[in-house]
Structure 1
């Protein structure tokens, strides 16, 4: 009986909402999509509402609009305008606004697929391209220290767990390597500073000789590369859950791309490093606690539809912070 009551209430509210939308359209002369475009500024505020409106529509054309191929966006907009009986000549800005938002929506969908493909591709030491990326990462982070061999304890110097980094990429596949290399090459100064900080002793009273001998188990920070892969997982979860829509709809004028995702990773690496220092954990055993707290902070920020996470480095073209 309780379930039936809830179902009837749901149907009543749904019918009431549809009736209200009909009345509003008759009074204002505008459909829901028009009202969203005219009453909301470009970015997440507008695009999130358009996305929700399209997904909740009873019309098949509107429902499928969020998953069309990018090449079909313009035709889809024309079809929507025709369906809604909106004259594009007297409403030119509406078509432009809808097109911009739809590009963002389908772009986010495609980015999810691209990121997932990289995550699912395992690191292959027999693949020359994979090996080349790994060597570039070493050279970017340790330009003055040539590797003594492909299998070497030197990898621990940039935060891998053992002598062969390939084993550390298992969780995030090539996505972790792509992100680390992007950070090291496009925000090199910050990456080197974070790496340097991660290797510093927690207590400065330790002598230089003792520090050199114990620097990998007495660091204030963490294993740089391992944390980078972990933060890749955090960025991946934000993307897959849809939480990153707020940020990406605010910073990508058209379609969000892999570069936007990698720049977001750079921001998260830098901010996590600051957060780790603020939290001042006793040791690496507190990593999960600190990471969980950091994750919650980012999620809270992304609930603000005007929020844009902005990497603090010159290579970024993301200029929007709290629009």
Structure 2
């Protein structure tokens, strides 16, 4: 019975795939436009158009279209020219298509590069022997506790800003340098809010409220995990 179900699902998949491709072929013949042309024509510049273009390229049966999603930013223009040639679209009679595709593809490869950089940062462990890492950590303390000199690198004082032990490096095991970067960015660029959150978290009536560091390091993990696989930025 299980074998029959698998076979049935396989044939249903093939049927739907063939039906969809056949439908796309008919639509192209009727409208005189390829799928990318229809997407750009029917959707205003923005996230919706970019999402549809990315989906079209990702699920294309052509390797050129699929590889376009990972093209280097410097090669985006050439990639668009190749795609238009592949789709038999005349750039002289359809100049706007190239412009629209280039804008969306630059957006797509840009956010993909950003996700890669963030993931690399997340995987980089905190190294107490690295002076740059230590400098960032000390800067975090001075920003949040400007009037309280740190008595030592290993100190219970770190608990005052939400770290769980005497050595804050252990709190970065899950998120690596990304957690530290998030904390430092928040403390430096929205210092008033960061200090207020820190103050509230240390009040007896707010003991339920997570301390600043304990709150933001796991949140950076959540944000990374929820980073969309598709672009949602208008443009």
Q: Which one of the candidate residues 92, 104, 108 is aligned to 2:111?
A: 108
Verify the 8 A CA contact 1:199 1:220 in the aligned structure 2: no
Larger Rg computed on CA atoms: 2
- Which residue is equivalent to 2:212? 224
Rounded to whole Å, the distance in 2 between the matches of 1:98 and 1:201 is 56
Query: What is the total number of aligned residue pairs between the two structures?
Result: 232
Rounded to whole Å, the distance in 2 between the matches of 1:171 and 1:84 is 46
- Which residue is equivalent to 2:68? 65
| Cα offset, 1:246, TM superposition | 5.3
Rounded to whole Å, the distance in 2 between the matches of 1:100 and 1:68 is 13
Verify the 8 A CA contact 2:122 2:177 in the aligned structure 1: yes
Task: Give the alignment's Cα RMSD to 1 decimal.
Answer: 1.6
Rounded to whole Å, the distance in 1 between the matches of 2:21 and 2:146 is 64
TM superposition score normalised by structure 1:
0.68
Which structure 2 residues correspond to residues 235-314 of structure 1 after superposition, within 5 A? 235-239=223-227, 242=229, 245=230, 247=232, 249-250=233-234, 253=235
Rounded to whole Å, the distance in 2 between the matches of 1:73 and 1:132 is 38
- Which residue is equivalent to 1:213? none
| Cα offset, 1:170, TM superposition | 0.7
Verify the 8 A CA contact 2:50 2:231 in the aligned structure 1: no
Rounded to whole Å, the distance in 2 between the matches of 1:184 and 1:63 is 41
Rounded to whole Å, the distance in 1 between the matches of 2:118 and 2:63 is 28
2:184 is the alignment partner of 1:181: yes
Q: Which one of the candidate residues 2, 5, 9 is aligned to 1:6?
A: 9
Verify the 8 A CA contact 2:91 2:98 in the aligned structure 1: yes
Rounded to whole Å, the distance in 1 between the matches of 2:53 and 2:45 is 11
Runs of 4+ in structure 1 off by over 6 angstroms are none
| Cα offset, 1:68, TM superposition | 1.3
Verify the 8 A CA contact 2:194 2:212 in the aligned structure 1: no
2:18 is the alignment partner of 1:30: no
CA deviations 1:174-212 (Å, max 9, x no partner) are 11001111111112222222222222222xxxxxxxxxx
CA deviations 1:259-311 (Å, max 9, x no partner) are xxxxxxxxxxxxxxxxxxxxxxxxxxxxxxxxxxxxxxxxxxxxxxxxxxxxx
Verify the 8 A CA contact 1:175 1:232 in the aligned structure 2: yes
Q: Which one of the candidate residues 10, 19, 39 is aligned to 1:16?
A: 19
| Cα offset, 1:2, TM superposition | 2.5
CA deviations 1:55-114 (Å, max 9, x no partner) are 111111111111111221111011111111212233222112111211122122222221
| Cα offset, 1:42, TM superposition | 2.4
| Cα offset, 1:150, TM superposition | 1.7
> Unpaired segments of 5 or more residues in structure 1?
203-217, 254-323
Which structure 2 residues correspond to residues 120-139 of structure 1 after superposition, within 5 A? 120-139=123-142
TM superposition score normalised by structure 2:
0.92
Larger relative contact order (Cα-Cα within 8 Å, sequence gap ≥ 6): 2
